[in-house]
């Protein structure tokens, strides 16, 4: 029942079709350095369009991990994004 949902609660169902499309396209990309950076850009856009879509936040964290661990030092995650992503995954 939709009335049982807590306002602001993270969702496994996307509210934005473009965000869902970006998420699906990003998970299909390999974890090699350049495609991984492309996936990060897609996921950042996805969470910008639908901040409550938990799978996109989760996969964005995974992609940042791969980038940091395997892509020549990786991209620096903005501190606020890191805090926000960790908070959403715990919610």
Q: Over the stretch 21-63, which tens digit does the pLDDT of each residue have? A: 999 999 999 999 999 999 999 999 999 999 999 999 999 999 9
**Domains contained in the chain, number:** 1
Q: What is the percentage of the chain residues whose pLDDT exceeds 90?
A: 57
Task: Looking at the chain, list the stretches that DSSP marks H as alpha helix, in order from N- to C-terminal side.
Answer: 17-27, 33-49, 54-70, 79-90
Q: Residue 60 sits in a domain of what CATH number?
A: 1.25.40
Q: Which two tokens stand for residue 85?
A: 């992503």
pTM: 0.70
Q: Are 64 and 75 in contact (CB under 8 A)?
A: yes
Q: Is residue 2 part of a domain?
A: no
State the residue range of the domain holding 69: 12-90
Q: Is residue 4 part of a domain?
A: no
Q: Which residues pair with 11 in a beta bridge?
A: 53
């Amino acid at each position: 029942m939709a009335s049982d949902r807590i306002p602001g609660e993270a969702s496994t169902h996307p509210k934005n079709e473009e965000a869902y499309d970006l998420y699906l396209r990003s998970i299909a990309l390999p974890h090699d350095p350049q495609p991984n950076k492309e996936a990060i850009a897609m996921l950042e856009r996805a969470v910008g369009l639908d901040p409550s879509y938990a799978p996109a936040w989760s996969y964005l964290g995974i992609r940042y991990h791969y980038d940091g661990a395997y892509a020549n030092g990786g991209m620096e995650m903005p501190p606020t994004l890191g805090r926000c992503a960790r908070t959403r995954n715990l919610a």
